[in-house]
Amino acid sequence: MSSSGREIIVIGGGLAGLTCALMLQKGGQKIQLIEASERIGGRVKTDQIDGFLLDRGFQVFQSSYPTAAKWLDLKSLNLRAFRNGCLLRKDDSFKVVADPWRNPLDSLRSIFAPTGKLSDFSKVARFRQRVRSEKDPYVLLESPQTTAIERLHQCGFSTEIIEDFFKPFYSGVFLEKELTTSSRMLDFTFSMFSRGEATLPADGMEAIPRQLAKQLHPGTIRTQTTVSEIRDGLVKLDDGRSLSCAAIVVATEMPAAARLLQADSSYTYRSTRCVYFDAGNAPVESPSIVLNCDMNSIVNSLCCPSRVQPSYAPENRTLVSVTSIGPLDRSPHDHVEAVRDELREWFGSDVDRWRPLSTYNIPYSLPDQSVANMEQIVKTPRVTDTIYRCGDYCDTRSIDGAIRSGERAAAAVLADLKSASS
């Protein structure tokens, strides 16, 4: 492949596409990044409504993400962290779990006091030691895998800690309640939680892709432009125009990639819903995530992002974010009322004064991370001599995984250009 001054086209302005474009630009290439929607960011976007910052679906940036740290100026994101640990909602009361990733002993004592399962304390400590023993956490993705739930049983954890902590916590991370996700993702995310903190940027999660986009030369990004078809050296747009190019990187989410690459289109994914409320008083004072131990409830977790980042709400107001897992099976209005009914049991009639700000229904939130799908992670970005791919489905299904896959695709393009010119 030779670029001979022609552009490389990156399709998709999520974190994978932006990182890939940036690395290609740093490698001296001319880039065009084509994004279908109104702005870059992909699944990491933040809307501003009535002075509140609403991330499109509750998500957090792990301060320990190793690849993101290479591409982002974390300092200027002004990250602020949730309190390590969480609150558990069980049997009509709340229990504090101090910090199971760094202080398993204190933390688990706090959950199970006064009975205390001493054996669980040492097992969490051992689990933590194992996932932290590798300097590079991505090595954990090479380990033999089973389901996350099976791995927890293999580690010998008690039913109590699995039901009361691991299930509610990891169902919110994996966006599925049975924990059939690969044990590799359990290891990787446990390692991330134990090495760093769950944070929010001051300007909302979208500040992350915006920081990458700002480094691209002016005119590189073309939004509101959808690619309908690709061939070696040719990109067709849905308005009928065609663009010729030296190489193409498909950096879309998996379903769109399957269409463009005419690849196997059988894929499964995880869905989520997030309701935001404007509340006068914070229902929980601490900057913690509240997990619901009742897996049959509509509410999986709740938090007040503005207790973590005050910029998420106007002065004297509190932003409440409520996450549910699975596809939306009722209208947004009915969903809000069902959420309110459950939360009235938690916080009393204050909940009736909360004003709904927005409900996000995100059918395609994460690609399926089950054992079979993690086995087939698309590690090689080359599809043909001039077509490449990246995206979170090619790596860990995460912000860091998307960035890492973009880096890998750009490295492959640059290597091929170099070998063609030598």
Ligand X SMILES: Cc1cc2nc3c(=O)[nH]c(=O)nc-3n(C[C@H](O)[C@H](O)[C@H](O)COP(=O)(O)OP(=O)(O)OC[C@H]3O[C@@H](n4cnc5c(N)ncnc54)[C@H](O)[C@@H]3O)c2cc1C
d(CA 366, CA 191): 20
**Which residues of this protein are in contact with ligand X, per CB under 6 A?**
11-17, 34-37, 42-44, 57, 59-60, 226-227, 251-253, 256, 272, 362, 365-366, 391-392, 397-399, 402
Q: Which is nearer to ligand X, 86 or 108 (CB)?
A: 86
Which residues make beta-bridge pairs with 231?
234
The two three-digit tokens of residue 244, written as one number: 């010729």
d(CA 203, CA 323): 21
Closest distance to ligand X from the beta carbon of 50 (Å): 21
d(CA 284, CA 290): 9
Closest distance to ligand X from the beta carbon of 191 (Å): 13
d(CA 146, CA 143): 10
Q: Which is nearer to ligand X, 5 or 240 (CB)?
A: 240
The two three-digit tokens of residue 192, written as one number: 């991330």
Closest distance to ligand X from the beta carbon of 62 (Å): 6
Closest distance to ligand X from the beta carbon of 312 (Å): 15
Closest distance to ligand X from the beta carbon of 351 (Å): 23
Q: Which ranges in 199-275 belong to alpha helices (H)?
A: 207-214, 254-260
Q: Which is nearer to ligand X, 44 or 246 (CB)?
A: 44
Which residues make beta-bridge pairs with 362?
272
Q: Which is nearer to ligand X, 125 or 202 (CB)?
A: 202
Q: Which is nearer to ligand X, 108 or 409 (CB)?
A: 409
Q: Distance of CA 262 to CAs 13, 157, 259, 326, 392, Å? A: 20, 44, 5, 28, 18
Closest distance to ligand X from the beta carbon of 154 (Å): 26
The two three-digit tokens of residue 355, written as one number: 């004003």
Residue 256 contacts by C-beta under 8 Å, 6 or more apart in sequence?
Answer: 12
Closest distance to ligand X from the beta carbon of 339 (Å): 16
Asked whether the beta carbons of 10 and 251 are under 8 A apart, the reply is: yes
Closest distance to ligand X from the beta carbon of 298 (Å): 16
Q: Which is nearer to ligand X, 402 or 410 (CB)?
A: 402
Asked whether the beta carbons of 376 and 184 are under 8 A apart, the reply is: no
d(CA 380, CA 332): 40
Q: Which is nearer to ligand X, 192 or 279 (CB)?
A: 192
Q: Is 62 helix (H, G, I), strand (E, B) or coil?
A: strand
Q: Which is nearer to ligand X, 111 or 175 (CB)?
A: 175
